[in-house]
Amino acid sequence: MFAFDPSLPLGLTGIAHANLDRSLMPASPPDPAEAAQRLAAVKAKRGYLLPHHGLMALTAPQLLDGYEACYTALTLVPRTLSEHDREFVWLGVLTSRREHIASQHLIKFLKAGGTLEEVELITRLTALAEGSGAFAFIPDHWQHHLPAFDRKAVYFGMLNSILAGATKAAKNIRPGLIHGALAAIHGCLQRFQELKWHIAECYRLGVPEAELAEAVSYIMFSGSMPYFVETCGVWQQMIRDGELAPSPAFKLWAEMDQGGPG
């Protein structure tokens, strides 16, 4: 896309001398008529317009196109989860990040047959995840005083209490979805020990790997791409360490030599 002379200084002065492909760079902001047309097109596609949509439409239409393609593939194109189950996971992710602006996911959940009782359940599960640091306190600092304290047992005891207290409607949500949603929530919160527990539970219950992958993929928008990368890394390491029995394709994924720029 661009090339620069390595002899030139980097930074603002260096980039000013870079040989940029000007055809890929936005020109000055469009005139009012074109601006109105771009904004109307974005609103027509979604039914609403958020601040960042308009900004990209006016200043970086190629970036908007890429964003829209990613968003569509992530949230609109059916994969493995039903619409109800997909939005159940989304509600946990959004609650953990306090992302109130994405209320369309609640509307979609209710239209897909979701109930108030199920919303209450995913809220309780998110609260459990947010409070999971308390279960780590004694092992991190006081385990020598209480050697019998079992962090995992206490955590899952609380989870089972939440599920036992759920209404009949909420109990209809299958265990695999519960653990997939909690994996996504813990990924958003960077609670990696609990993340490992729920990934392991998904495998124990026979949750398809593609379904778990879809659940944790929802981290990338609301939780952040780095949190999604870290979550994938935890999953990979579990396979490398022999903690999971992956399919051949996932075993290949985990065993490939990978790294980052750091």
Tens digits of per-residue pLDDT, 146-157? 999 999 999 999
Please check whether residues 132 and 246 belong to one and the same domain. yes
Q: Give, in order, the Cα–Cα distances in Å from 148 to each of 145, 157, 160, 217.
A: 9, 15, 20, 36
User: Tens digits of per-residue pLDDT, 204-220?
Assistant: 999 999 999 999 999 98
Please check whether residues 172 and 262 belong to one and the same domain. yes
Please check whether residues 224 and 197 belong to one and the same domain. yes
Number of domains into which the chain is organized: 2
pLDDT in tens, the chain (262 residues): 334 344 434 333 333 334 445 445 555 777 788 878 888 887 887 778 888 888 888 888 888 888 888 888 888 889 999 999 999 999 999 999 998 888 888 999 999 999 999 999 999 999 999 999 999 999 999 999 999 999 999 999 999 999 998 887 777 899 999 999 999 999 999 999 999 999 999 999 999 999 999 999 999 887 788 889 999 999 999 999 999 999 999 999 999 877 666 6
Please check whether residues 164 and 238 belong to one and the same domain. yes
Please check whether residues 9 and 135 belong to one and the same domain. no
Please check whether residues 137 and 215 belong to one and the same domain. yes
**Nearest 10 degrees: Cα torsion 197, 199, 203, 209:** 180
Please check whether residues 128 and 68 belong to one and the same domain. no
Please check whether residues 219 and 166 belong to one and the same domain. yes
Which of the listed residues 77, 92, 119 is the one where a domain comes to its end? Answer: 77
Please check whether residues 52 and 122 belong to one and the same domain. no
Which of the listed residues 77, 94, 119 is the one where a domain comes to its end? Answer: 77
Which of the listed residues 22, 53, 77 is the one where a domain comes to its end? Answer: 77
What secondary structure, in 3-state letters, does the chain show? CEECCCCCCCCHHHHHCCEECHHHCCCCCCCHHHHHHHHHHHHHHHCCCCHHHHHHHHHCHHHHHHHHHHHHHHHHCCCCCCHHHHHHHHHHHHHHHCCCCCCHHHHHHHHCCCCHHHHHHHHHHHHHHHCCHHHHHHHHHHCCCCCCCCHHHHHHHHHHHHHHCCCHHHHCCCHHHHHHHHHHHHHHHCCHHHHHHHHHHHHHCCCCHHHHHHHHHCHHHHCCHHHHHHHHHHHHHHHHCCCCCCCHHHHHHHHCCCCCCC
Domain that holds residue 149: 83-262
The whole-number pLDDT of residue 26 equals 53
Average pLDDT, the chain: 86
CATH number at residue 167: 1.20.1290
